[in-house]
Amino acid sequence: MTQQKGEALIKQLKPILDEKIIWLGYYKSEPIAFYFNIPDVNQLIKHINGKLNILGKLKFLWYKRFSENQKMLGVIFGVVPEHQGKGVDGAIILASLNTIHNLSKKYPLTEIKGIGDFNKKMILVIKQVGGDINKIHTTYRYLFDREKPFERMKPIL
């Protein structure tokens, strides 16, 4: 992802972001990992009945400010290659979850989105930090050119 695309994404998500659930990992003042969560907006949107007019926006802001959001969604996660395999991935997830759940009690549930069946590393990390795996996305391919040989994506180990 380019910096420009990242900045555009942050700008779009700004109305729902909670900076307490965005984590960055550093080693010797250099960023080495990130764990990006967002509140589960579906718990807020259900109150506006699909109408994002002026009244709907006011209701959204009201519920965002005063209601208890029970779940956050882990949407983006990464560790720079030089620090992979050193436990940084599990450490940043575990530290963030412990801090978020123990200090604020705001997000008792966390759902990490988009774990593919080929991503054995992430499945292992979730198990190591004590998480339950409820859904793993299966990846399918369709070859439009039937003459090319099919090769399954190699697992991320």
Q: How many CA atoms lie within 13 A of 118 on its CB side?
A: 9
Q: Which residues contact 13 (CB under 8 A, 6 or more apart)?
A: 38
Specify the pLDDT at position 157: 63
Closest CA to 77 of 150, 131, 152: 131
DSSP string, 82-101: GGTTTTHHHHHHHHHHHHII
Cα end-to-end span (Å), the chain: 22
Rounded Cα–Cα distance for residues 25 and 56 (Å): 37
Domains of the chain (ranges, CATH numbers) = 20-40+70-128 (3.40.630.30)
| pTM as predicted | 0.71
Specify the pLDDT at position 47: 80
Rounded Cα–Cα distance for residues 75 and 20 (Å): 15
Specify the pLDDT at position 103: 65
Mean pLDDT per 10-residue interval, the chain, length 157 residues: 83 84 91 89 81 85 80 85 88 84 75 82 82 82 83 72
